[in-house]
Structure 1
């Protein structure tokens, strides 16, 4: 099939000042679809070339027009006041939402083209008309998607999982006891409990990402946004991280890309136990219920660091990542696209 793919972000490392978490998995999914024989054309601006100076046009195709397609695939964009809701040409304006409206109007509503909406941020309202449009399939990156939606998790390359070595990862020096990579959005309360409290009085904890309001936590070391390749290095230096989720993610059992990023670097994922289906994401030994519990766990993890017990715990965490395997996500999309072809 010729699939028009709309995403607002990057395929390569991109630029530092961006919240695009899709860099960890977008190219993995796209290359997987191409390996299955699908032809993909990208319908948003080529930000890799325009903003990051990375020319990927010898490998991939971008089209700013309305090319002939068999299906439309959208990474869902939503209104962000002051950014994509302003008139075109306004300082700070991004045209991702306007372009999405154009694509939906032309392909989905006017021509009835089969459309996949991947609501990666759980921003598509439950009553949105697209959920009841026959030619539209809504996918969510959650274990418990909204009624009628399909679970499509953030993919991890099979080869990355198959070649990960827990013994080697356990032997790496871990100068940081606790690290968190991610932005502040809707995480203040969970951060307060599960990171800021156990970080009190410690110098071996660090937070990377966009945190514009940190006055509540003067004792925490915030280093701001970092280049995307540095994310792996921070996790490689850290003994553990805490999986901090917005409430809507936690309720739906939606885990961000930070889990596989951390585990593949050998960083153990301390998991707040209230997250729905938490046992699917990490072994019970890493589930925590309070800041004090995090402190206790960090002491225990530091005690076993570099030992066979540490390697065994990492092996259990790696096994939990199998639900994110690219091959599994491609099987899901194959079923969705097969249904689309039948309807179409």
Structure 2
């Protein structure tokens, strides 16, 4: 959003106003209304041309040299007061006052306000003394129209410009904050994806590698290691495809992708039973439940190897519930990122997820709307 008085726009506007004012002065001259008092027009043609030219030059330079322009116009009006006063000069003065009040320094604005106020009051009092109250009121109104009104308008324009600048600054700040928040959300999302997918498979590989060293025939364990390695690679490729795509496609986890994690649990002696299948639900529900179940299986394999694990999916009219239960081999030491991510994933589609001990078992429960 541009300022109401931007540099190049103001320069063009000032030049156009100066040309328009010169044209109005020539028109007033042609109509015999060059002076406020038609019976007191004593200027010869060359004097009028000189006054219009001088006023035009002053008006053109007012944007770059407002102090010089204001002083020059005051001096020109003082000289003109003896033979005029000339209406075109007062029109130019009105524009110069506006430019000084709108674009000048704070000191210049105060000086212009004081000078114009004193000049208006002085002319009104002089008119009342010379011609009576009626003349004084009319002269005062002329001063208000040509001197004080431009100041008021300039103050309104300045306030609008400041409001526009403040709005622009606020918009830029908000855009920066939104961008920062979006980047933070994306980093957290990628962190969850890596944790819930690759980390689970890598953790299973580490556990299976430990077990493989102590068994006589590690063929089944090696097959499980290979399966989890391939699953981790598939997850990484899927994430790379999402990051490389122009759109905002999301990786969709399928219930069948739990196979390598179930095989890893079986390889360390944890019998996994699965009852139910959310594949009949929407892809979004299936993906969320798959991620939560995968994290629960990885945790069970890591922290309670050799204990049975049950995965149950119950479907109701308005919701789907996932329950993963395994016997604890020791008291949990704390809550890691995995449990936090479970809750975030469930909440992302309007559900909830809880995890905690129940007697000698560790139970993960998630409920999401259908």
* Structure with the higher fraction of residues in helix conformation: 2
TM-score (ref. length: structure 1): 0.24
* Structure with the higher fraction of residues in strand conformation: 1
